[in-house]
Amino acid sequence: MDASGRPSTQPALLRLFTDSDFRRRAVRYLLRRPAPLPSEDRRVLEQVIFKFYESLPDITNVLFVGVSWYTRHYERCFFPGRTFWTVDISPSARKHGARRHVTAPVQDLAAHFSPGQFDLVLLNGVYGHGLNEKEDCERGFGACYDVLREGGHFLLGWNDVAAHRGAPLGALASLARFKPFVCPVLGVEAYLTDTPSRHIFQFYTKPESGRSP
């Protein structure tokens, strides 16, 4: 892993000889066992946030946007018994997706899912990593809003560093449609992790009819 908290770009073959942690995770990956990233933001996501959502009985349909090798176990380990979908713009990401997977940009969710289909939409590591321009952000967050049911939960995870900031979040009308939500297990609406990438988790819900954010 590099200083930003993201996976290292060092060639995999070289890392097999120099990085014992990488070797351990590579073996687990080949055996189709969970191979989580050893970072604080992943610990918070997997051991705190996921467990909170798991505890909510009305979270039965989940959409996770943006997948990679270190998210391949999410359906099996964290959302068993739920209807769990994954979406990624890259065709090569399909092998890391859930049993129910769609290859598409987040802006095009409406072409694949029904309005209000999901109880929980998780968008982590996408904003600022491809979802950057204002128009794309408006469409992407708007699409998440449309496929989320009223009262459903939306999680936005992003890196608060200059290299990975997309269009200013405060200027996005699509994001303003959501209602900020205080996550009970963290006690805040936005949680800044202790990471070089300054990864932030922001919590929202979709307002019910007749109620403004």
Cα–Cα distance for residue pair 118/162, rounded to 1 Å:
32
pLDDT in tens, 27-81: 444 444 444 557 899 999 999 999 999 999 999 999 999 999 999 999 999 999 9
pLDDT in tens, 183-213: 999 999 999 999 999 999 999 999 998 655 5
10 Å Cβ neighbour count for 85? 24
Backbone φ, ψ for residue 40 (5° rounding): -65, -35
Judged against a pLDDT cut of 50, whether residue 6 lies above it is answered with: no
- pLDDT at site 14: 53
Q: What angle do CA 114, 72, 178 make, to 5 degrees?
A: 40
To the question of pTM greater than 0.85 for the whole model, the response is no
- pLDDT at site 26: 46
Cα–Cα distance for residue pair 67/103, rounded to 1 Å:
11
